[in-house]
Amino acid sequence: MVFAMPSTLNRRISCRRKKMSLSPNAKVVLDVRDLKTYFKTDAGVVKAVDGVSFTIHENETLGIVGESGCGKSVTNLSIMRLISDPPGKTVGGQVLFEDKDILKLPESEMRNIRGNKVSMIFQDPMTSLNPFLRISTQMIETIRLHEKDISKDEALKRSIEMLKLVGIPSAEKRIFCYPHQFSGGMRQRVMIAMALSCKAEVLIADEPTTALDVTIQAQILELIQKLSKELGTAVIIITHDLGVVAGMCDKVCVMYAGKIVEKALTDDLYARPAHPYTEGLIASVPRMDTASKNKRLFSIEGQPPNVIDLPPCCPFHPRCHKCIEVCRHAYPAVKDLGNEHSVACWLYASQDEIDKAMEGVR
């Protein structure tokens, strides 16, 4: 159902998206290769992120979806090098940004990138601002930390501009408020303004709208989309909401138990989900536009796995409705289905590959 509204509505904003097909020579901004982050716990090693690879081009929006505990947040904290060590450690892989592996940079150089060239918006706007400091102080600090030669007044001016850009009314006055004087949606706007105040090239948004209401969510998503288009920022959106992904992203990675199980262009993913998990995930969401009423929802049985000491097989097999013998014994290789669509599932492997994997078992 398309919600056609009476033309009298002046607040009519069309939800257009960036063109799907990116020019083939668009610059790769961030290239994550085989990233591995493990946590050592008393119960065993938690492989929170286990060999995740993806690339993101400028002007592109990438979605990372998955259920809680699948490692989507840890992936991005690892990119920002914000994993506390111990217990966590990024044990392998590369994150290439401007042809440098930022996992190997000394901390001093990393500080120059973090928050400056790669910025992050957190889920909870209540806890990610310092309640003791005025918004102005916090914004000026961010700007001056990364651009040493800018004066306080200039930084303040830039901050006010940024607040106006994200749509905070009477920004000149509101900038001197404390965070508690702002509502949840306004705080999230402030976070976005801070994240973008240094003209970041990559913006990582970790569940940016989960704590917000739908009407506010629509405002914030619209804003991120608008800004990324204007400033050419590449955006990574982490979410569990498949609706948000459908509206915002060009590409999607689906994560399960620390691994990317499927990667595709957004349209492809929704039209032809390849992995049974993706398929189940899409089918289990009630939809407003189709008559799912009174019918039972498709549900993925069972619980997400405990990622401690996972056996070397497909972690989804106990919940999979298409599970075959080989799934219980070996992890499937990533299979390219063409058109940037890849999947890690035995259903797409050839008989030879399956036989080979089964031989190893016997």
Partner 1 sequence: MSENTQKPLLQVRDLKQHFPVSSGLFRKKMGAIRAVDGISFDVYPGETLGIVGESGCGKSTTVRSIAQLYKPTSGSVIFDGLDLCNATEQEMLDVRKNIQMIFQDPYASLDPRMTVRSIIAEPIVIYNKRHMLEKQMSNRDIEDRVEYLMERVGLNKAFKNRYPHEFSGGQRQRIGIARALALQPKIILADEPVSALDVSIQAQILNLLGDLQKEYGLTYIFIAHDLAVIQHISTRVVVMYLGKVMEISEAVELYDNPLHPYTKALLSAAPIPDPDIERKRQRIILTGDVPSPDKERIGCYFYDRCPNKHPYCATHIPPLLDIKDNHQVACWLYDKGKLE
Binding site for partner 1 (CB under 8 A): 1-5, 8-17, 67-68, 183-186, 213-219, 221-222, 240-247, 266-267, 270, 280-282, 284-289, 292-294, 296-301, 303-304, 319
**Closer to partner 1 by Cβ: residue 172 or 267:** 267
The two structure tokens encoding residue 28 = 């790769």
Tell me how far, at minimum, the Cβ of 340 lies from partner 1, in Å: 15
Tell me how far, at minimum, the Cβ of 217 lies from partner 1, in Å: 7
Q: Which residue has the tokens 């999979």?
A: 320
**Closer to partner 1 by Cβ: residue 42 or 301:** 301
Q: CA-CA distance, 308 to 246, in Å (whole number)? A: 32
Tell me how far, at minimum, the Cβ of 242 lies from partner 1, in Å: 4
CB 270 within 8 A of CB 285: no
Can you spell out the DSSP letters for 99-146?
TEETTSS-HHHHHHHBTTTEEEE-S-TTTSS-TTS-HHHHHHHHHHHH
**Closer to partner 1 by Cβ: residue 76 or 266:** 266
Residue 16, Ramachandran bin (φ over 0: left; ψ between -120 and 50: alpha; else beta): beta
**Closer to partner 1 by Cβ: residue 286 or 312:** 286
**Closer to partner 1 by Cβ: residue 115 or 258:** 258
Tell me how far, at minimum, the Cβ of 327 lies from partner 1, in Å: 18
Beta-strand pair 118-121/44-57: unpaired
Query: Residue 87 gets which letter from DSSP?
Result: T
**Closer to partner 1 by Cβ: residue 87 or 302:** 302
Question: To 10 degrees, what angle do helices 184-196 and 214-231 make?
Answer: 10
Cβ within 8 Å of residue 92, ≥6 positions away? 34, 35, 36, 51
Q: Which residue has the tokens 């032809």?
A: 272
**Closer to partner 1 by Cβ: residue 105 or 246:** 246
Can you spell out the DSSP letters for 191-217?
HHHHHHTT--SEEEEESTTTTS-HHHH
CA 262 to chain centre: 14
Beta-strand pair 100-101/88-97: antiparallel
CB 231 within 8 A of CB 196: yes
Tell me how far, at minimum, the Cβ of 152 lies from partner 1, in Å: 30
Cα dihedral: 247, 29, 255, 105 (round 10): -140
Phi and psi (nearest 5°) for 207? 45, 60
Tell me how far, at minimum, the Cβ of 293 lies from partner 1, in Å: 6
The two structure tokens encoding residue 347 = 């259903």
**Closer to partner 1 by Cβ: residue 102 or 300:** 300
Tell me how far, at minimum, the Cβ of 165 lies from partner 1, in Å: 16
**Closer to partner 1 by Cβ: residue 213 or 336:** 213
**Closer to partner 1 by Cβ: residue 245 or 274:** 245
Tell me how far, at minimum, the Cβ of 144 lies from partner 1, in Å: 30
Tell me how far, at minimum, the Cβ of 90 lies from partner 1, in Å: 26
β-partners of residue 49 are 37
Tell me how far, at minimum, the Cβ of 116 lies from partner 1, in Å: 30
Classified as helix, coil or strand, 318 is helix
